[in-house]
């Protein structure tokens, strides 16, 4: 009953100086809206980065020869890759029926044209399967063609690599790589050029069929890695444990993408943490503003609090009146902040934000291209946490003024003008 | 004298103002019975308001004792004093001291709400009290929309609505014009006569002293005279 009376006074006090309440509320909701918008944009960036990294560099789960992660020697291979692929596929589909499993072979070597020579990282893939997983096939420059299965004499070169070698689609190049025992050379015809925007890929990478890469290593049924691609990334831990139970872990290591692509994972973790630190600073600045406003408003009402205390209101009830003002102000600020965050996020989710002009050619994280157009993605737990934080910090910033008011002596307080 | 509602024994109150000790009360003995209409008079600095604040549990004595409704105030903590003021004492202040964000009705209702009285009972009692002080039809007005006399009537309504044992009024007519002041004195006399409300005033106003049935005169923190009419 008394709480209803205190709530009424708190609400009226907020309405009494509406302009001040609106300015304070706007500071809270503006800060919160900015946090929500930024967090959702970061979430979209991480999501795109992880999606690309997972599809092009590894998989949600990677199976490779034991020790490859710490020492990526190209001859440290998954033996009997076809059988491993089948075993993995069978196992993972018990927990993720739409999972896709592909093998990849990486060969380090030299690529020679009629005019020049360059180091190359040749990636052997299954062209048909790969086209359903990664976006390599969409990045073949006009005039070239994507690989076809069984065409073991074709290669797609990174655009900058082709420039170095001074070749174009239709030209021939020779790969020299360390085979099982001796140097192996293979002749390829350039089928197309790849433009990703990542210097490390465009300048040194080439794609060919799985069979061709295996041939270059003189290892018919071997792969550098067997990769698993899931439609639901939250299934990764379950998939890892399921696959680990199905494959011989004494000679194979089963890694989640976070371990297979540590540089990229660390980037997302660090970036997220630095963003959270920045959000905390924004929160503290807004809370200081709220504290200042509430303190000012308490100082203006000392006489009123004196009257309330004289009439028999307990100090704890005076404390609650001011705390309730914080509860209401924080709730209004959080609500409008959520609305502002949602309104700002919506266009960034629908149309994306085009960073092309700012990014130039070399924006990548751990060899993964950052999309030129970034689409925001709702991070609901983050949004809920920010709203709760804004609300709690507003309430917290009223504690000191409330404590000050509760300690007033009624006689002295009523003398104030 | 009727059963004393207020019993003050050898009450002393000393303030420190910088290096100087101010003896506001120098040993006051006073009993006030139920249903009395008492004026505390005296020049400025005589200790009227200090005595009123002591009786109203708004201040603590330096020595001596104050009992209100049989309860000893010294030794009470802040919350117990708050409860005593809420349940036993009504206050009327010189500057009205209404809560500006609450309407006349809500100001009068405030004490009952803090006591936890049900909404139905509150409505009945507040409406009856506002009618008794002549504020029918003005329930929804905010203090800023009322004249000084009307605001002081709301303050009186707030003081008596909870049927306290005692109403303490500190210079209630000081901010009012002569006619409004007279009307307010008549109102409080009527409430005293009809409802048996006990009033104690601190006042300079000769009209209040004229209306009072007992006048206690204070000089330099001591009772100089105590006249029953």
Angle at A233 between CA A227 and CA A235, to 5 degrees: 90
Residue B48: closest CA among B164, B182, B169, B157:
B169
Structural domains of chain B, count: 1
The nearest CA of chain A is from the CA of B21 a distance in Å of: 18
**Residue A31 pLDDT > 80:** yes
The nearest CA of chain B is from the CA of A328 a distance in Å of: 16
Select the residue of B86, B117, B118 nearest A312 (Cβ to Cβ): B86
Same domain? A154 vs A227: yes
**Band of pLDDT at residue A360, cut at 50, 70 and 90:** low
The nearest CA of chain B is from the CA of A350 a distance in Å of: 46
Same domain? A104 vs A228: yes
| Closest-approach residue (CA) in chain A for B53 | A411
**Residue A143 pLDDT > 60:** yes
CA distance A391 to A329: 8
User: Quick check: B176 contacting A, CB < 8 Å?
Assistant: no
**Residue A366 pLDDT > 70:** no
User: Quick check: A8 contacting B, CB < 8 Å?
Assistant: yes
User: Where in the sequence is the domain holding A198, given as residue range(s)?
Assistant: 60-257
**Residue A297 pLDDT > 70:** yes
Same domain? A236 vs A374: no
Q: Which of B54, B114, B144 should be substituted to probe chain A, the one whose Cβ sees the most A Cβ atoms within 10 Å?
A: B114
CA distance B193 to B195: 6
Select the residue of B58, B114, B158 nearest A410 (Cβ to Cβ): B58
| End-to-end CA, chain A | 31
pTM of the model: 0.76
- Are B205 and B211 in contact, with CB atoms under 8 Å apart? no
| Pairing status of strand A205-209 against strand A117-125 | parallel
- Are B135 and B58 in contact, with CB atoms under 8 Å apart? no
Structural domains of chain A, count: 2
Helix (H, G, I), strand (E, B) or coil at A256: strand
Q: Chain centroid to CA A197: how far?
A: 19
B54: left (phi over 0), alpha (psi -120 to 50) or beta: alpha
CA distance B85 to B167: 10
Q: Residue A74: what pLDDT?
A: 84
CA distance B69 to B87: 11
End residue of a domain, out of A227, A257, A287: A257
Can you read off the two tokens belonging to residue B139?
């329930």
End residue of a domain, out of A257, A285, A318: A257
**Residue A368 pLDDT > 70:** no
CA distance B63 to B14: 9
Helix (H, G, I), strand (E, B) or coil at A247: coil
Which residues sit opposite A368 in a β-bridge?
A365
Residue A55: closest CA among A218, A248, A230:
A230
Per-residue pLDDT, averaged over A336-363, amounts to 83
Q: Which of A11, A311, A317, A409 should be substituted to probe chain B, the one whose Cβ sees the most B Cβ atoms within 10 Å?
A: A311
Q: Which of A6, A11, A17, A310 should be substituted to probe chain B, the one whose Cβ sees the most B Cβ atoms within 10 Å?
A: A310
User: Quick check: B97 contacting A, CB < 8 Å?
Assistant: yes
Give how far Cα B73 sits from Cα of B8, B56, B199, Å: 10, 9, 19
Same domain? A87 vs A195: yes
Q: Which of A250-254, A282-286, A295-299 shows the highest mean pLDDT? A: A250-254
Q: Please tell me the least confidently modeled range out of A1-5, A289-293, A329-333.
A: A1-5
Q: Residue B2: what pLDDT?
A: 57
The answer to whether the Cα torsion of A175, A179, A181, A186 is positive or negative is negative
Residue A175: closest CA among A148, A225, A199, A209:
A209
Q: Which of A46-55, A129-138, A218-227 shows the highest mean pLDDT? A: A218-227
ipTM: 0.91
**Residue A102 pLDDT > 60:** yes
Residue A295: closest CA among A27, A18, A20, A3:
A20
| End-to-end CA, chain B | 13
Same domain? A249 vs A276: no
Same domain? A47 vs A65: no
Same domain? A94 vs A239: yes
Same domain? A118 vs A16: no
User: Quick check: B53 contacting A, CB < 8 Å?
Assistant: yes
Q: Residue B51: what pLDDT?
A: 94
Helix (H, G, I), strand (E, B) or coil at B168: strand
Share of chain A above pLDDT 70, in %: 95
Q: Which CATH number is B66's domain given? A: 3.40.50.300
Same domain? A270 vs A252: no
**Residue A58 pLDDT > 70:** yes
> What number of other Cβ atoms are within 10 A of residue B16's Cβ?
8
Per-residue pLDDT, averaged over A199-215, amounts to 90
Contacts of A13 in chain B (CB under 8 A): 101
> B52-74 pLDDT, tens per residue?
999 999 998 999 999 998 889 98
- Are B53 and B13 in contact, with CB atoms under 8 Å apart? no
**Band of pLDDT at residue A363, cut at 50, 70 and 90:** low
The nearest CA of chain B is from the CA of A409 a distance in Å of: 8
Which residues sit opposite A158 in a β-bridge?
A194
Same domain? A249 vs A271: no
**Band of pLDDT at residue A369, cut at 50, 70 and 90:** low
User: Where in the sequence is the domain holding B221, given as residue range(s)?
Assistant: 4-228
Residue A222: closest CA among A314, A101, A103:
A103
End residue of a domain, out of A230, A257, A284: A257
**Residue A132 pLDDT > 80:** yes
**Residue A357 pLDDT > 90:** no
Which residues sit opposite B135 in a β-bridge?
none
Q: Please tell me the least confidently modeled range out of A143-152, A180-189, A278-287, A356-365.
A: A356-365
Same domain? A227 vs A111: yes
Q: Residue A240: what pLDDT?
A: 95
The nearest CA of chain B is from the CA of A363 a distance in Å of: 59
Same domain? A131 vs A40: no
Q: Residue A105: what pLDDT?
A: 94
* pLDDT, one tens digit for every residue, chain B (229 residues): 556 899 999 999 998 888 888 899 999 999 999 999 999 999 988 999 999 999 999 998 999 999 998 889 988 888 899 999 999 999 998 888 999 989 999 999 999 999 989 999 999 999 999 988 888 899 999 999 999 889 999 999 999 899 888 999 998 888 878 888 888 888 888 889 888 889 999 998 888 888 999 999 999 999 999 988 7
Can you read off the two tokens belonging to residue A307?
């009257």
Q: Residue A389: what pLDDT?
A: 92
């Amino acid at each position: 009953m008394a709480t209803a009376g205190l709530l009424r006074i708190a609400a009226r006090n907020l309405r009494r100086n509406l302009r001040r309440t609106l300015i304070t509320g706007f500071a809270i909701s503006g800060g919160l809206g900015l946090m929500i918008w930024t967090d959702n944009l970061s979430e979209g960036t991480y999501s795109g980065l992880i999606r690309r990294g997972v599809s092009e560099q590894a998989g949600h789960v990677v199976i490779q020869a034991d020790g490859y992660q710490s020492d990526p020697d190209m001859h440290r291979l998954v033996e009997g890759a076809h059988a491993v692929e089948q075993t993995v596929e069978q196992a993972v589909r018990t927990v993720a029926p739409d999972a896709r499993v592909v093998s990849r072979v990486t060969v380090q070597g030299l690529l020679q044209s009629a005019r020049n020579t360059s180091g190359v990282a040749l990636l052997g893939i299954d062209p048909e399967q790969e086209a359903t997983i990664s976006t390599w096939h969409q990045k073949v420059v006009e005039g070239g063609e994507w690989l076809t299965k069984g065409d073991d004499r074709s290669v797609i070169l990174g655009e900058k690599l082709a420039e170095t070698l001074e070749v174009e689609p239709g030209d021939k190049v020779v790969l020299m790589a360390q085979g099982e025992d001796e140097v192996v050379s293979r002749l390829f015809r350039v089928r197309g050029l790849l433009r990703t925007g990542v210097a490390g890929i465009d300048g040194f990478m080439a794609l060919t069929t799985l069979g061709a890469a295996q041939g270059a290593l003189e290892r018919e049924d071997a792969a550098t890695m067997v990769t698993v691609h899931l439609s639901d990334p939250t299934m990764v831990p379950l998939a890892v444990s399921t696959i680990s139970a199905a494959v011989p872990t004494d000679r194979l290591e089963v890694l989640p993408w976070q371990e297979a692509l540590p540089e990229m994972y660390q980037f997302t973790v660090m970036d997220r943490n630095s963003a959270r630190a920045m959000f905390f600073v924004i929160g503290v600045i807004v809370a200081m503003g709220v504290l200042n406003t509430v303190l000012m408003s308490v100082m203006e009402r000392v006489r009123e609090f004196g009257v309330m205390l004289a009439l028999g209101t307990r100090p704890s009830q005076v404390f609650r009146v001011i705390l309730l003002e914080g509860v209401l102000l924080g709730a209004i600020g959080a609500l409008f902040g959520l609305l502002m965050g949602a309104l700002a996020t919506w266009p960034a989710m629908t149309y994306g934000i085009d960073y092309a002009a700012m990014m130039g050619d070399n924006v990548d994280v751990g060899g993964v291209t950052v999309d030129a157009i970034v689409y925001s993605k709702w991070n609901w737990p983050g949004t809920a946490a920010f709203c709760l934080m804004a609300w709690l910090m507003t309430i917290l910033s009223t504690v000191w003024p409330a404590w000050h008011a509760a300690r007033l002596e009624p006689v002295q307080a009523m003398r104030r003008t | 004298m009727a059963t004393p509602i207020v019993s003050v024994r050898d009450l002393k109150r000393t303030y420190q103002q910088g290096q100087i000790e101010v003896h506001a009360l120098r040993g006051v003995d006073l009993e006030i019975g139920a249903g009395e209409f008492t004026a505390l008079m005296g020049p400025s600095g005589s200790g009227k308001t200090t005595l009123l604040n002591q009786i109203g549990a708004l201040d603590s004595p330096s020595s001596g004792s104050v009992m209100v409704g049989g309860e000893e105030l010294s030794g009470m903590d802040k919350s117990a004093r708050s409860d005593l003021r809420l349940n036993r004492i009504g206050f009327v202040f010189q500057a009205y001291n209404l809560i500006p964000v609450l309407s006349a009705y809500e100001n009068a209702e405030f004490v009952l709400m803090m006591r936890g009285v049900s909404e139905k009972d509150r409505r009945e009692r507040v409406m009856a009290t506002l009618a008794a002080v002549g504020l029918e039809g003005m329930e929804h007005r905010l203090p800023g929309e009322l004249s000084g006399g009307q605001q002081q009537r709301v303050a009186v309504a707030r003081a008596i609505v909870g049927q306290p044992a005692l109403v303490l009024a500190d210079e209630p007519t000081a901010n009012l014009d002569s006619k409004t002041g007279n009307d307010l004195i008549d109102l409080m006399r009527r409430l005293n006569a009809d409802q048996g409300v006990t009033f104690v005033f601190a006042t300079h106003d000769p009209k209040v002293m004229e209306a009072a049935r007992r006048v206690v005169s204070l000089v330099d923190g001591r009772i100089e005279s105590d006249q029953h009419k």
